[in-house]
Structure 1
């Protein structure tokens, strides 16, 4: 990439002012320097590093040095959700951010599968593929947006980038960091259902090269459309940086988030007395099936990071990141389902399931309310070193990164000890539940024990090689030595994964590419979690899975990317297929877990992000997925040929804003998600839905503005996720929030 092209990238991202950009381009156009540009071997390469500042919807570069080319020239699908887009849509949680991204759906957790963010990318679970600033985050909790600058979604098998897992892709949360300037911002929001939210962002430059930044958040209120369900969370994220704008930079940051929300597993779903394909029962969306006074959930996450970076030259920058993190997930909750209900006199079992239907009595259809508890702590220590830069050799330009990574992860648990009938399963009425049912006894937590331990050592290298102005290739290779212990079982795997891509640029603002990537899901990937949705026994490590090698996935993708309207709008299109082989399955005769399963997802994705005019911004996407189980057995049941669960074949999202006046901006959006099966037999399904949102903001001056957000305008009952059909999680109903923002700079 030429110097002028690189300054163009920075200028579009907001890192270089228009005046500087014009001056540089004018200088580059001078005859003498133009000749020097043509002699590329005489120029030292220019490397773009650091985070891009973006006040719109289009992103041009990714934050990770592993992405060795601008997004336009990266040969795979990457979706970036910018801070401005999150602000305009009033997204306060990672789930808010991801629910509007086509191709992403959700699963729900309970019991052994901890509740928290559980996204599925292109049909494959990615709850253990969440990264924070390029380093894996294992905490199972609900992530917040108050300290997030952008969310980067890398699509397709990507173990070469992030290590184990990442079958459908990975999600990287880019944190806010200190800047060499002084500014402050505070927001106060009040809305329907007693909702309120306070945030603060202050950055103080105490010298030309050092700065301190603090982000804080406090939020509370009721969940719209749900009785007795409340949110209560707060967070703080201080960070300090030295050496800004110099060759040596040091950043020390800390992150704390605490959630004391009401656990809510939605409504009971799986009624095996109903033949045919089943959707959630039609009940009042406000119905709460938990037990007030007994149910609670406490999530706490703490993360400390030290990053040291030194730029030796344009050709080499060395970065080392060290992180310690600890997250705690503790809850007592009620699982509503149709399990354990009594059969009415004279009823006959449903032959499709071999079980009796639930009781229909004079006082209504009975459901069971079972106790689910968890007390789990995830601790991890990670160190990551990257050497990256650019150089020219043999008439070719290279943009490279080479790195090593070491991590240790440990999961400890405390079992719940019930007494006096505290764990008794209660019966309740489906249509008129009583959230104040009396319960007896108490719960205490037993001693702490280690549920799982994982050690990982990895090495990787990536290189983008530019042959000419039209042709370049991207290659990547990673090796992980992955060792896991859980419940007395142990396993060690050596995981080789790679990424290949070829890019053709018919014009400076467009690219056509083909890429191929792999991923590996080793046994024990979700060790200690007792969960996982892919294959028999998920990713747990047991005596029956300790001898199993990793599941393997590969994907081929063909796509194109174009920056149009003076590089203000990014358009993308991709056609892909992901295949998983050696997937876990059950032997029909012995019941042993084997690697005889396989599945695949084919699809197409379209996207648009940026501005059509300086006043008109748009973010849109469409995804069509064709997910199929090629071979999979669970016990004696054969699910081969069925559709993979938790996946919507079609999903789409459109959000657009228009600045009618310099002070007034309005926006409106629509999100569509198709039906999703939630069991392997394709009997239980969540219905499709449309959701509509709107906003309006008015800037009275540069220091004060008001913004009104209206979400789920039609008050649609949205079933967002389910845990294998036992129950279905209900998304928030219609809500409004008015936010006042005060700024100083």
Structure 2
């Protein structure tokens, strides 16, 4: 078993939950800038096919060619007026949190940045589709299509929660707000390798950071509508303008109504992201952002592998119960960031974010216990459970940071120093109705039985689930971090970093009135070196340690030991003829992975060990005027170091 040393994709059932045949979209775009409006333009763009493979070792590749000239059908295209071209817009930016002031060739780690042009050329509208562009990332168990889950360099995070990601440097991925839409996102950064020395608790393979669209001090706007396969309709709007010399606003919104290649499955979602930027003075800036979204998504685990073989059941088959309706996911988020420049060399960042998410609804899912599953007896009748989930999560983070450069002992230093604190509350109420074991001869109604080859929905009254889990978990932490990158010579730079975390977890089981607590203190070091071999070529190596708290409780109701990992990486970066490239080799080892401790009760223990190693090649840039390239290749060998059951089984 692979456990959590994940590689090419999720389980056979989950792998098909959002795997669609080739699709196309018809898109109408209206752009307004400088008082000019373009005529509508129709473009047909292919959407990529999503694939996954649950194998230990995998190779992945992604290739995108972006042309500045839209693809169009002559019968529908109209020439835009000369004045309709969107002018270059100067963005009033803020320094990225934790990032410092470094050029790409000066950082001792591999990174990818997917800009807005590449996102649009790929047809990506949500985070999962965007991350498909990186060969280092593979899709994982997406909880029936209800959240983002991915493995970076072979390792996935805590599967009790969505994969964590950052928004403008703030932790924001944990929670239950549904898959992240790309409306309001300017670019997606994939920060590979050990990052705990700055970012703190995170995934062992690296970190994903989303950079949002922020107000500009020049009026510009865009309205976009599209229609696609399976009765998919979507509208996006983006408008920004100055209200005065010192204040600018931006409003981004989207709405989508989509069918699916899966029978009876329809999704609806909408959201809005207003933001405000205030130039308090030439040295001080304040940005506020609001995020609101609502999604309605039926719980869809996918199709079955009958006798270990996919394809016996058509991909379009829905094995849930349409009468359950969709699960509803909501997000309300606020982010406030203040930046002040003391001088050209020193600046400070102070930020706060709060995010509330919720997920509620019914689902009917396959029974995974062998002694209760009728399909293993007759090969056609699937026993199902009915479940109800009421999940709420809230997250608050405050962060302060100072960074700058100075000379000391005849050497140039670039320093980042800061403090952050966060609080995460995870409130879960879970109800379940399941049939007794086959030995007790349950009725088809008790089993919520369905014929996988000829399903008839609504054959039996939907049962009322009974309580199974009623728990609230609170995680609190405070971290202090420091990083110093020293120019030892004109060609050689040394990076030293460390982070100290004080972490506390409280678990309250409201069903038993049991409360358990645990505390941890961890120091996460980082060491890196960069050698500038030539003006456009650098060689680097880095070492780092990482830890990540785990949600949930063991069989005794106690919290788990944190997941720990150690990473080493070496590589080369170059810039040649407008193309930026990175070649990297890496190895990541981790322990305290959640594994099944008692399969009959499906209790977990943090005892698993795993190792991932491989190499990557990433290229991006401009081949010629109006033609851009994005290419990504990765070979990843991820495997367990000890024998245990796969915690995926039974989720």
TM-score by length of 1: 0.67
Q: Do the aligned partners of residues 596 and 383 (structure 1) sit closer, same or farther apart at CA in structure 2, a change above 3 Å counting?
A: closer
| Contact map agreement 2:387 2:430 (CA 8 A) in 1 | no
Match of 2:120, SS state, is: helix
How far residue 556 of structure 1 moved from its aligned partner, in angstroms, is 0.9
Equivalence for 1:246: 282
Corresponding residue for 1:384?
Answer: 399
**1:259, CA displacement in angstroms?**
0.5
- Counterpart in 1 of 2:332? 302
Contact 1:268 1:337 in 2 (8 A): no
- CA 1:427/1:614 → structure 2, altered by over 3 Å: closer, same or farther? same
Instruction: Evaluate the alpha carbon distance shift between residue 581 and residue 404 of structure 1 in structure 2; reply closer, same or farther with a 3 A threshold.
Output: same
Alignment deviations for residues 254-301 of structure 1 (CA, whole Å, 9 cap, x no partner) = 1011111222111134x6xx4xxx343532111111211223211101
Which residue of structure 2 lines up, in the alignment, with residue 259 of structure 1?
A: 295
Superposition map of 1:506-655 within 5 A: 506-522=533-549, 525-527=550-552, 540=553, 543=556, 546=559, 549-565=561-577, 568-581=578-591, 583=593, 597-634=608-645
Distance 1:255 1:342, change over 3 A: closer
Size of the alignment, in residue pairs?
539
Matched, 1:470 2:491: yes
Give, in angstroms, the shift of residue 444 of structure 1: 9.6
The CA distance in 1 between the partners of 2:505 and 2:545, in whole Å, is 21
C-alpha separation between the residues in 2 aligned to 1:511 and 1:423?
Answer: 66
Change (3 A) 1:573 1:316: same
Using the alignment, how far apart are the partners of 2:412 and 2:445 within structure 1? 65
1:409 is the counterpart of 2:424:
yes
Asked if structure 1 preserves the Cα contact closer than 8 Å seen for 2:481 and 2:498, the reply is yes
Alignment match of 1:132 (pick from 167, 171, 187): 167
CA spacing shift, 1:398–1:158, aligned 2, 3 Å:
same
Residue 504 of structure 1 corresponds to 531
Do the aligned residues in 2 keep the contact of 1:585 with 1:593 (CA within 8 Å)? yes
CA distance in structure 1 between the partners assigned to 2:373 and 2:633 by the alignment: 45
- In structure 2, the residue matched to 1:702 is none
Counterpart CA distance in 2 for 1:332 and 1:587 is 28
- Gap change, CA 1:449 and 1:310, over 3 Å in 2: farther
Q: Would you say the 8 A contact 1:370–1:424 is kept in 2?
A: no
TM-score computed with the length of structure 2 as normaliser = 0.76
SS at match of 2:129: helix
**2:188 is the alignment partner of 1:188:** no
Distance 1:602 1:83 in 2: 31
Cα distance in 2 between the residues matched to 1:377 and 1:239? 25
Contact 2:166 2:207 in 1 (8 A): yes
Identify if the C-alpha distance between structure 1 residues 342 and 64 changes in structure 2 by more than 3 Å, giving closer, same or farther. Answer: closer
Return the offset for 1:64: 3.5
Structure 2: distance between partners of 1:95 and 1:384 = 28
Counterpart-to-counterpart distance in 1, 2:189 and 2:152:
12
Matches within 5 A, 1:329-340: 329-336=359-366, 339=369
Q: Confirm or deny: 8 A CA contact 2:131 2:137 kept in the other structure.
A: yes
Distance in 2, Cα, partners of 1:310 & 1:214:
25
Q: Does the residue aligned with 1:479 lie in a helix, a strand or coil?
A: strand
1:314 corresponds in structure 2 to 344
Residue 454 of structure 2 aligns to a residue in which SS? coil
Deviation per residue, 1:375-410 (Å, 9 max, x gap): 111012211111112223333222221110011111
User: Does the CA-based 8 Å contact 1:108-1:115 persist in structure 2?
Assistant: no
Shift of residue 551, structure 1, vs aligned partner: 3.4
1:422 and 1:440 in contact (8 A); partners too: no
> Do 2:267 and 2:296's aligned partners in 1 also have CA atoms closer than 8 Å?
yes
Given candidates 514, 522, 527, the residue that maps to 1:495 is: 522
- CA distance in structure 1 between the aligned counterparts of 2:221 and 2:280, rounded to whole angstroms: 19
Q: Which residue number in structure 2 is paired with residue 719 of structure 1?
A: none
Any stretches of 5+ residues in structure 1 without a counterpart? 1-53, 56-60, 345-356, 528-539, 635-678, 681-722, 728-745
Could you give the per-residue CA deviations for residues 650-673 of structure 1, whole angstroms, max 9, x where no partner exists? xxxxxxxxxxxxxxxxxxxxxxxx
CA 1:335 to 1:100, structure 2 compared with 1: closer, same or farther past 3 Å? farther
Does structure 1 conserve the Cα–Cα contact (< 8 Å) formed by 2:364 and 2:387?
A: yes
**1:118 to 2:136 alignment:** no
Deviation at 1:125, TM superposition (A): 1.4
The two structures, once aligned, show a CA RMSD in angstroms of 3.2
1:327–1:377 CA contact under 8 A, matched in 2? yes
Residue 203 (structure 1) aligned with residue 240 (structure 2): yes
Q: Distance in 1 between matches of 2:531 and 2:473?
A: 46
**Secondary structure of 1:620 counterpart:** strand
| Corresponding position of 1:81 | 114
**For the structure 1 residues 282 and 404, does the alpha-carbon distance in structure 2 shift closer, same or farther, using more than 3 Å as the test?**
same
Residue among 377, 395, 403 paired with 1:359? 377
Task: Give 3-state SS (helix, strand or coil) of 1:324's partner.
Answer: strand
